[in-house]
Structure 1
């Protein structure tokens, strides 16, 4: 495990766990924390031995309460790195999956970060929302993802009122995959990690790239015609040969990620 003062990281086999370590401010992020998270995601993206990331918060109160407003007032700004809030929200070239392990409240930029993750597991006591308008601000990037992940009227109801809602409501809306009691939380996240790791990593990366890049195409025909480098890489990989061979030999495949 490495310690970066505001975050910690840990390799667990092929999984990379990133934890926000600011429980005293409900894991709100200041510029330094943003930079440390950006560096952690840079390291994850560059390491071929790591196939999935988990982002969570320390303590049992909050996943991330958004921007550190006290710092914002004192410093007059709350700058984020090139890759956006939490070093993730404007990172558009990460084909590896990221799971949000929502251990507590995800508010403002915290919810924006959950929206930027591919999957989310939340404790049943967690609350979510974009309350920025209630403090004179705007949710910024979180709005663009919210309107794409929810029906327009549902997104507008949340964004225009700043309403805070429960994890169960988030699951009903499709913003959260699973909501579980705290006693089952880590086991549920770890099970989801193992389900992903049971798949060929290059196939997972190709899948993620095709889904998200395809969304920017004007229609399905254009999405089919788009070029996907991760898909081409997958087709000529050793893993693409290993999968059918393992199936034919009635054994579990051994993925190499190459």
Structure 2
């Protein structure tokens, strides 16, 4: 069920699952300022809606997930503007504890890799290709913080190769270096993304969000012992929740838990 009159993205609700689709297939889902603003609003809505627990981010059409910035629009107007939450409204958003699954259905270049890196789990079609071509057009991958994020997610040498050469790699290679969790046949990308979403939805919502918060916030402190004694609000909320009672009770009673998210 689509619930928002967006022009450059589709916002489709399937129960507790949101499917957010970049919708500019005529330009391989390249993004311009208006598209960034729409996506920022869409992620705001996802974050604020208590009924939504997992989101899949994908691209319209069969050719591309996202090829980054719409360079023709940029050349025409010189407008680099983006929302405060970054490229596609997601790359500078550091307080979204609900999970994001990237379903990469084709070319994933430049800002497309920025979006991918901002997601928590990623599955891609076996024909997908990945790259950071910015240096080949006189730019650098600065817009979404990828130069900071990528070395934290994959090995430094692999990150340097992507960033400095501007060359493309295959889906299999992207999985090998840690950009992806899984590679599947093209026809199965959304099916597999929905299966991963279903696995998340089987878990307690607060437990999922607390886990994401602890892992991501821990990266800010190099001292492991400090991270184990830091303040994680969602972890406290989880431990005091009704779901923390429901989970062990359902296990003892040999039934499926009824998660309330409270």
* TM, length-normalised to structure 1: 0.98
Paired with 2:170 and 2:65, the residues of 1 have a C-alpha distance of 14
- The answer to whether 1:256 aligns with 2:230 is no
Cα deviation, 1:139-167, whole Å, max 9, x if unaligned, reads: 01111111111121221111111111011
Paired with 2:191 and 2:231, the residues of 1 have a C-alpha distance of 38
1:105-120 aligned at under 5 Å gives the runs: 105-120=107-122
What's the counterpart of residue 21 of structure 1? 23
What's the counterpart of residue 98 of structure 2? 96
Paired with 1:129 and 1:241, the residues of 2 have a C-alpha distance of 46
| Cα contact 2:36–2:88 (8 A) shared by 1 | yes
2:55 partner SS: strand
- The answer to whether 1:142 aligns with 2:142 is no
Paired with 1:175 and 1:209, the residues of 2 have a C-alpha distance of 20
What's the counterpart of residue 172 of structure 2? 168
* TM, length-normalised to structure 2: 0.97
Paired with 1:226 and 1:166, the residues of 2 have a C-alpha distance of 39
| Cα contact 1:147–1:155 (8 A) shared by 2 | yes
- State which of 29, 42, 45 in structure 2 corresponds to 1:43: 45
Task: State the number of aligned residues.
Answer: 258
Q: CA deviation at 1:218?
A: 2.0
Q: CA deviation at 1:100?
A: 0.5
Unaligned runs of 5+ residues in structure 1 are none
Paired with 1:209 and 1:62, the residues of 2 have a C-alpha distance of 30
Question: How large is the RMSD of aligned CA atoms in angstroms?
Answer: 0.8
Q: CA deviation at 1:78?
A: 2.2
- The answer to whether 1:233 aligns with 2:249 is no
1:153 partner SS: helix
Unaligned runs of 5+ residues in structure 2 are none
1:154-165 aligned at under 5 Å gives the runs: 154-165=158-169
What's the counterpart of residue 189 of structure 2? 185
Q: CA deviation at 1:200?
A: 0.3
| Cα contact 1:57–1:63 (8 A) shared by 2 | yes
